[in-house]
């Protein structure tokens, strides 16, 4: 039996933190088979901590960069006392008003303890890729303006998306590959497409939330950049994400991996259509989300998974 099945953290507590910090991942992570589900939960929460520090609305750029540095230091020194001091300092002077994010920061010692309970093979990609994300986030924070990161063109936008989402795709890929020999035949393809997968989801979120971001005094879209170019890039990336999903299916990946990877892509594709038609802020309804989930499960039940990626989108 794999030693990856012997983790002894607090899954109920982690699931609660997950539900308080992400609607999408709270929906998709439970689809994963164990022990990948537990590993991805821990990884998501740690990346969410980094995101919360980078997005801090109550701290100046200099403070955000300093706290990201302290988080990076924690990855190298995970003693309980260090995590407790850090979590307590963030609880005393929180970076934001979001109750779920503040609860997560207070629970930092629990999340770090859960990381240390993972098998070394799972810890390595989480620590490595989180460290890379923190380093790149700090670089963007260092050029922050009052309206957020000072992105100047589409290349800059892509670098930002890679920092906050593309690296996550690369980290998830390494966790998927652990102790799944059947996936070795597509490992190179998965690694090649992983960053674009993450970029696709981030671009859709940026386009969807553009109006809210502006109302809150920030923007992640470079000034003067035509929205059509961003929509086009997002669609190209979503096609790559679909190819990633097909690679997993072709190599016989467990159903949970197929559901976890496909559902965000299908939701993002439908959301992008909606935003392009109705403008920033437009969202899918709950019945529409439920219908997409049902369509995915039906395709898997009937062994018609490829149909999800060959269907033509409706007129926009």
* Per-residue pLDDT tens digits of the chain, which is 316 residues long: 345 544 445 789 999 999 999 888 888 999 999 999 999 999 999 999 999 999 888 898 899 999 999 999 999 888 888 999 999 999 999 999 999 999 999 999 999 999 999 999 999 999 999 999 999 999 888 666 555 667 889 999 999 999 999 999 999 999 999 999 999 999 999 999 999 999 999 999 999 988 877 777 777 888 888 899 999 999 999 999 999 999 999 999 999 999 999 999 999 999 999 999 999 889 999 999 999 999 999 999 999 999 898 754 443 4
Task: Give the tokens for residue 262.
Answer: 């496909």
Domain-embedded: residue 42: yes
| Residues 246 and 296 occupy one common structural domain | yes
| Residues 153 and 51 occupy one common structural domain | no
Give the structural domain span for 160: 147-316
| Residues 137 and 249 occupy one common structural domain | no
Interior/surface letters 145-176, b for 16+ CB within 10 angstroms, e for the rest: eeebbebeebebbbbbbbbbbbbbbbbbbbbb
Smallest CA-to-CA distance from 28 within 262, 292, 251, 249 is with 262
Domain-embedded: residue 223: yes
Domain-embedded: residue 2: no
Domain-embedded: residue 5: no
CATH code at position 261: 1.10.600.10
| Residues 155 and 302 occupy one common structural domain | yes
> Looking at 88, 108, 142, which one is the last position of a domain?
142
What is the number of domains present in the chain?
2
Domain-embedded: residue 208: yes
Domain-embedded: residue 255: yes
| Residues 21 and 138 occupy one common structural domain | yes
| Cβ contacts of 193 within 8 Å, gap of 6 or more | 240, 241, 243, 244, 247
| Residues 38 and 132 occupy one common structural domain | yes
> Looking at 142, 164, 188, which one is the last position of a domain?
142
Task: Kindly report the pTM of this predicted structure.
Answer: 0.91
> Mapping DSSP to helix (H, G, I), strand (E, B) and coil, where does residue 296 land?
helix
Task: Give the tokens for residue 171.
Answer: 């980290």
**CA atoms 260, 26, 47, 17: torsion sign:** negative
């Amino acid at each position: 039996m794999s030693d990856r099945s012997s983790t002894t953290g607090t899954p109920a507590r982690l699931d609660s933190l997950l539900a308080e910090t992400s609607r999408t991942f709270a929906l998709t992570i439970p689809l994963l088979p164990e022990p990948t589900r537990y590993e991805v939960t821990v990884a998501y929460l740690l990346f969410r901590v980094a995101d919360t520090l980078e997005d801090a609305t109550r701290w100046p750029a200099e403070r955000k960069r300093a706290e990201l540095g302290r988080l990076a230091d924690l990855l190298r020194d995970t003693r309980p006392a260090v995590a407790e001091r850090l979590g307590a300092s963030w609880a005393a002077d929180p970076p934001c008003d979001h109750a779920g994010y503040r609860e997560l920061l207070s629970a930092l010692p629990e999340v770090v303890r859960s990381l240390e309970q993972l098998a070394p093979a799972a810890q390595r990609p989480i620590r490595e890729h989180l460290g890379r994300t923190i380093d790149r986030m700090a670089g963007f924070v260092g050029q922050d303006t009052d309206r957020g990161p000072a992105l100047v063109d589409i290349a800059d936008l892509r670098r930002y998306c890679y920092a906050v989402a593309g690296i996550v795709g690369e980290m998830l890929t390494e966790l998927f590959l652990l102790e799944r020999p059947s996936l070795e035949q597509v490992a190179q393809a998965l690694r090649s497409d992983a960053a674009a997968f993450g970029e696709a989801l981030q671009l859709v979120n940026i386009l969807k939330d553009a109006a809210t971001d502006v109302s809150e005094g920030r923007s992640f879209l470079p000034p003067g950049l035509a929205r059509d170019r961003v929509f086009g890039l997002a669609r190209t990336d979503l096609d790559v994400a679909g190819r990633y999903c097909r690679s997993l299916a072709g190599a016989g990946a467990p159903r949970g991996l197929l559901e976890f990877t496909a559902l965000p892509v299908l939701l993002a594709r439908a959301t992008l259509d909606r935003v392009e038609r109705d403008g920033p802020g437009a969202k899918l309804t709950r019945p529409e989300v439920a219908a997409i989930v049902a369509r995915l499960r039906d395709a898997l039940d009937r062994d018609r998974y490829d149909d999800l990626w060959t269907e033509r989108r409706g007129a926009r």
